[in-house]
Amino acid sequence: MGMAARLLGDQTAQPRLTTAQTRIQITQTTRRWNKSKVDLTDALDFWSFAGGAANVIQQLGWPEVAYGVMESKVTTGGLMFHPWKRARTTFQYLAVAILGTDEERAAFREAVNSVHRHVQSDANSPVKYNAFNRELQMYVAACLFIGFEDSHQLLYGKFTPEQAEHFYQSASPLGTTLQVQADQWPATRVEFDRYWNIACERITMDERTRAYLMDLVHLRMIAWPLRIMFGPLLQFLTAGFLPPLFREELDIEWTETDRRRFENLFVFVSFVNRFIPKFIRGGGTYGMMADVRRRLNAGKNLV
> Is 227 part of a structural domain of the chain?
yes
Residues pairing with 120 in the sheet = 130
> Is 69 part of a structural domain of the chain?
yes
Domain count, the chain: 1
- Say what the pLDDT of residue 203 is: 97
Pure H helices in the chain? 3-8, 19-22, 52-59, 63-70, 83-99, 102-116, 134-156, 161-169, 173-176, 189-199, 207-217, 224-241, 244-250, 256-273, 278-281, 283-298
> Is 71 part of a structural domain of the chain?
yes
Query: Whole-prediction pTM value?
Result: 0.92
- Say what the pLDDT of residue 180 is: 96
- Say what the pLDDT of residue 188 is: 96
- Say what the pLDDT of residue 39 is: 92
Are residues 226 and 83 in contact, defined by beta-carbon separation less than 8 angstroms?
Answer: no
> Is 184 part of a structural domain of the chain?
yes
Domain assignment of residue 183, given as a range: 3-10+38-293
- Say what the pLDDT of residue 296 is: 92
d(CA 11, CA 30): 33
> Is 190 part of a structural domain of the chain?
yes
> Is 19 part of a structural domain of the chain?
no
> Is 59 part of a structural domain of the chain?
yes
- Say what the pLDDT of residue 147 is: 96
Which mean pLDDT values do the consecutive 10-residue runs of the chain (303 residues) have? 56 87 86 74 89 95 96 76 82 95 95 92 95 96 97 91 94 95 95 97 97 91 82 94 97 94 92 88 92 93 86
Are residues 177 and 112 in contact, defined by beta-carbon separation less than 8 angstroms?
Answer: no
- Say what the pLDDT of residue 82 is: 76
